Amino acid sequence: MNTKSQIPFFLLLLAILFSCGPKKPAFSQTRTTAVTVFKVSDGDTFWVTYPSGKEEKIRLIGINAPESRRTGSKEVEYFGKEASDYAKRLLLNKQVTLEFDVQKTDRYKRTLAYAYLSSGAMVNAILVREGYAQVATYPPNVKYQSLFQKLEKEARSAKRGLWK
């Protein structure tokens, strides 16, 4: 085999090797650029605006804050108003970065995310640590489940927020 005939064979071999490698997940982006929170629905749900002007409803992954208002069959829950007010103080008109897990949306078409303040602090973790939310993980979105469980245990022990 001469050198000229070896080149196509080598290129074919490379193509086969690279096509057999790991596949990219359907949603490969894990973090967004900074987005602005323009509305807070309650302690675990808010709306953001992207730099492009696109608006999106975000549901924080791994946590559940008590209901702050009566909607459908759901009643206002203990510490719901406090959790909602705290989330508003923490998020409203602030810039956050969103991190996604395995699933990008839930069955209600809300975008699922971990949110980070400009300081780098994770909003989901802050809400649990301060007692404004409790752990609520739904596989496959369980990336920070052990962290949230540890923070909830600390909040309960310290009788913070809804654990008073």
**Residues tagged active-site:** 59, 67, 110
What 77-84 contacts at long range (C-beta under 8 Å, 24+ apart), as own/partner pairs, is 78/162, 79/131, 79/132, 79/161, 79/162, 80/42, 80/43, 82/132, 82/161, 82/162, 83/42, 83/43, 83/127, 83/132, 83/133, 83/161, 83/162, 84/40, 84/41, 84/42, 84/43
Beta-carbon-side half-sphere exposure of residue 162 (alpha carbons within 13 Å): 25
User: Which structure tokens are listed for 152?
Assistant: 């909830």
Q: Are 58 and 113 in contact (CB under 8 A)?
A: yes
